[in-house]
Amino acid sequence: MGHRDLGDFYRATGDYTQALKHYTKSREFCSTSQHVLDMCLSVLELVIEQRNYAHISSYIFKAEGALDAAATAAASNTASGSGGNSTAPILKRSSERDQVQPKLDFAMALSHLGQANYEKAAHFFLKLLAPGDIAIYGTLCALASMSRSAIKSQLSGNAIFSAYIEQEPYIRELIQSYLSSDFKNVLELLERYSTRHYVDIHLYSHVYDLTNLIRNVAVVLYFQPFQTIRLDRMSAAFGWTVEEVEKEILKARKVDHRAELFAHAIKTADEIQSTNRKLLLRMRLQQADLVVKPPKSRRDQDRTMEFLQGD
């Protein structure tokens, strides 16, 4: 198709805007589900290169719709046809889905990763028979977002995914250290291989956030079994200095001056109200002549004292 060829040309020359324009324009001339699927795959490859993750999911849904439509059409043709080769279209469509679906799952995983939905990204990465890069993506996203039991069942207990972890041996060590609460080694491995992560075109912008999330989860897991801890023991467990531990876990109380002002005003108002009530009570007692007067001798003594003080 002309627009698809033009899209391929502009993509090869680096003009992604024109390439996307022609790819999407070809949608108007798609007459079969295969045409729609080819268009969606071309657009997905382009937006992934652009790291335009927000638009990935919509084209994935269109591609899956095209696959479903093709499978339905093949089943309908089989039902209406006859002969020994009547199941061939269905087998062909099934094989095509098996080839395309991993690509769509990978694109969806990148979409979630690009939008910082790490838990959803981990689920999609773990569905794939992936090389070392996918093992890294899936593991980092899982450590940052999943519970320890989920990590144990879906990473270390996943025979298929474990086979691909072997392509990046440090990933297996990272998972084992995390599950055994060896958080010092976890942080050392993340730091040692950070260069490997930062050069990844899709992962680099999330390495800092993922590392912080993993470190925060590790601190929470370390605290859970204890009611009190010693900072020096915790610093040894994480490979930090005591000052770094204090900076990481201790937070100085921030005074809300506005709330403090309101609290002071309410307290002052209560004190004034109490004083006014006492004054009103005293006035009422005086008006009713219910004042207890001191004896005469006491009054004479008080007057003498006032006279002497006046002198």
Q: How much is the average pLDDT of 98-103?
A: 80
Which among 62-76, 168-182, 216-230, 278-292 has the top mean pLDDT? 168-182
Is a pLDDT exceeding 70 seen at residue 111?
A: yes
Residues 213 and 162 in one domain: yes
Domain assignment present for 246: yes
How far is Cα of residue 165 from the mean position of the Cα atoms in its chain?
23
Q: Which residues contact 116 (CB under 8 A, 6 or more apart)?
A: 206, 209
Helix 231-238 to helix 207-223 angle (10° resolution) is 140
Nearest Cα neighbor of 103 from 69, 120, 127, 119 is 127
Residues 177, 237, single domain; the answer is yes
Residue whose tokens read 């084992």: 176
Statement: residue 85 has pLDDT above 60: no
- Do 184 and 239 fall within a single domain? yes
Residue 271 domain-assigned? yes
In terms of Cα–Cα distance, which of 148, 98, 102 is closest to 125? 102
Q: How many CB atoms lie within 10 A of CB 19?
A: 24
For the beta carbon of residue 33, count every other beta carbon within 10 angstroms: 20
* Type of residue at 279: L
One-letter amino acid at 210 equals L
pLDDT for 129: 47
- Cα separation, 42 vs 19, in Å, equals 10
CB burial of 114-139 (b: ≥16 within 10 Å; e: otherwise) equals: beebbebbbbbbbbbebeeebbbbbb
Q: Are 4 and 22 in contact (CB under 8 A)?
A: yes
Average pLDDT of the segment spanning 87-95: 57
278 in any annotated domain: yes
Per residue in 152-207, pLDDT (tens digit) is 888 888 887 887 788 888 998 999 999 998 988 999 999 999 998 998 877 888 99
Say whether both 136 and 238 belong to one domain: yes
Same domain, 149 and 247: yes
254: three-class secondary structure by DSSP = coil
211: confidence class by pLDDT, cuts 50, 70, 90: very high
- Report if pTM > 0.85: no
pLDDT of residue 39: 85
Q: Are residues 187 and 152 in the same domain?
A: yes
Judged against a pLDDT cut of 60, whether residue 88 lies above it is answered with no
* Residue 289: band (very low, low, confident or very high) from pLDDT cuts 50, 70, 90: confident
Q: Which residue range(s) make up the domain with 211?
A: 131-252
How far, in Å, are 104, 252, 259, 274 from residue 262 at the CA level?
Answer: 57, 22, 5, 18
Q: Does 238 lie in the same domain as 182?
A: yes
Higher-confidence position of 79 and 117: 117
Split at pLDDT 50, 70, 90, the class of 140 is very high
Select from 60, 11, 54 the least CA-distant residue to 36. 60
Domain assignment of residue 55, yes or no: no
Looking at the domain assignment, is residue 299 inside a domain? Answer: no
pLDDT reading at 252 higher than 60: no
CA–CA distance, 294 with 311 (Å, rounded to integer): 24
CA 124 – CA 101 distance, rounded (Å) = 11
Instruction: Looking at the structure, tell me whether residues 264 and 236 fall in a common domain.
Output: no
Q: CB count, 10 Å around CB of 210?
A: 21
Say how many domains are in the chain: 2
246 and 174 fall within a common domain: yes
Cα–Cα distance for residue pair 41/60, rounded to 1 Å: 8
Q: What is the pLDDT of residues 29-76, one digit of tens each?
A: 777 888 888 888 888 888 888 888 888 888 888 888 888 887 777 777
Share of the chain above pLDDT 70, in %: 84
Rounded Cα–Cα distance for residues 54 and 73 (Å): 31
Confidence tier at 209 by pLDDT (50, 70, 90): very high
126 or 311, which is more confident?
126
Closest CA to 218 of 136, 121, 151, 134: 151
**pLDDT > 90: percent of the chain:** 15
Q: Is the pLDDT of residue 20 over 70?
A: yes
In a domain, 7, yes or no: no
Of 188, 210, 189, 194, residue with least CA distance to 138: 210
- What is residue 43's three-state secondary structure? helix
Output DSSP code: residue 306: H
Shared-domain flag, residues 188 and 281? no
Instruction: Verify that 154 and 232 share a domain, yes or no.
Output: yes
Q: Is residue 106 part of a domain?
A: no
Q: Which residue has the tokens 């006046």?
A: 310
Quick one: 188 and 266 in the same domain?
A: no
Give the mean pLDDT of the chain.
Answer: 81
What local confidence, expressed as pLDDT, does residue 37 receive?
A: 84
Of 123-127, 164-168, 248-252, 253-257, the least confident: 248-252
Residue 75 included in any domain: no
pLDDT value of position 178: 92
| Range in 21-35, 71-85, 94-108, 142-156 the model is least confident about | 71-85
CA distance 47 to 252: 45
